[in-house]
A and B are shown apart, each in its own frame.
Chain A
Amino acid sequence: MNKQKSYEDVKEYVTRISIRNGWKLNSDKEQLDDLITGLQANFNRLGYYNCPCRDSQEDHQLDRDIICPCRYAEQDIKDYGYCYCTLYQQLDFDISRPLRMIPERRP
């Protein structure tokens, strides 16, 4: 059984990931909160950070491409300015731009 993650643990994790990749976190308080609590719920249920906006097979191997940061994030951030969930964004992403769902890159 994995140790349960707190909200703060998850926030620290995503902050670290964003810094390491040269991205920034979604600056909308409500959306960021939704995303962190979504990741927290997934970790505490599945034992890994399954993408909060994608459906899991509850199997680490089958879900490995959508463990956050997912395999598609880098390209999505390059192409659209943010990842599928909008958690990570390009450093110079214009936050006044309305966020829309981007196409799903996962096959």
Chain B
Amino acid sequence: MDYIINHFDFFVDLIDFQITSNCVDFSLFKTICGLIVSLDQIKIPENIVNVEATHDKQQYSEIFLFTISTCMWCKKAKRWLNRQGFQYSYLDIDLIPVEDKNKLKAEIQEVFGVKPRFPFLVVNKIQWDSGYNPDIWEEMIN
């Protein structure tokens, strides 16, 4: 799994090459997709909040944020995303039943291989960052 993550660009290029040269090897594609960690592998409760973009630039990244509603760092994170004008979705994990929350945290840990701390950012379903690190986020998102 780490190998795929570390060589993600290589695999993207490989798939890109196969598509452009019209010789797609679907078995390879499926293997890679099966190994790549993704937010889709996590069952997210329905209390998601969607925030609309406030700028009219094209946004290529899909942004999801797990937060705690009372957390100062999470509030900073939401304000930072708002200031950038990004469209994003978030889930305040402390506002869902504790059993669901524990299940969710366990799934995040299993899928992304890290014990999450909050805010926990996921970009394009596969890239993640644990904690509030706007310098890193800027690179991840742009």
Interface positions of A (Cβ within 8 A of B): 31, 34-35, 37-39, 41-42, 52-58, 85-87, 100-101, 104
Q: Is the interface of B mostly helix, strand, loop or mixed?
A: helix
Q: Can you give 28 contacting A-B residue pairs, CB < 8 Å? A: A31-B76, A34-B72, A34-B76, A37-B70, A38-B71, A41-B70, A42-B70, A52-B70, A52-B72, A53-B70, A53-B71, A53-B73, A53-B74, A53-B118, A54-B68, A55-B68, A55-B101, A55-B105, A56-B94, A57-B102, A58-B98, A85-B71, A85-B72, A85-B73, A86-B72, A101-B132, A101-B133, A104-B117
Interface positions of B (Cβ within 8 A of A): 68-76, 93-94, 98, 101-102, 105, 117-118, 131-133
Which residue of chain B is the closest to A57 with respect to CB atoms? B98
Q: Is the CB of B72 within 8 A of A55?
A: no
Distance in angstroms from B96 CB to nearest chain A CB is: 11
Q: How far is the CA of A53 from the CA of B120 in the complex (A)?
A: 12
